[in-house]
Amino acid sequence: MAFRISYLYNKQQKEIGFANDKHHSVYDAIATAEGVDLTEFHRMESQVANVSRNDRKTMKDFREEYFRKLGFSQVTIVREE
């Protein structure tokens, strides 16, 4: 089953294809599509994971807040049938 990601970037609605074998996460896919460098994000994400003992809610909140600061919002996965 194919997936598409719908998101808002700098007040502009966009949609891209998503494949698990090409990207680590949905956020990696949308950052790659927009040409955003995630080196700093991955470093900080690793630190948060170590401190929070991989608590899923903490990690999700960190990701969403970081990408909100980059200008991304309304990130949703759309299933294609």
* Number of domains present in the structure of the chain: 1
Percent of all residues in the chain with a pLDDT value above 90, rounded to a whole number: 67
Domain that holds residue 42: 2-80
Length of the chain: 81
Q: What is the pLDDT of residues 18-50, one digit of tens each?
A: 888 888 889 999 999 999 999 999 999 999 989
For 62, 64, 73, 78, the CA distances from 12, given in Å and listed in that order, are 23, 18, 10, 17
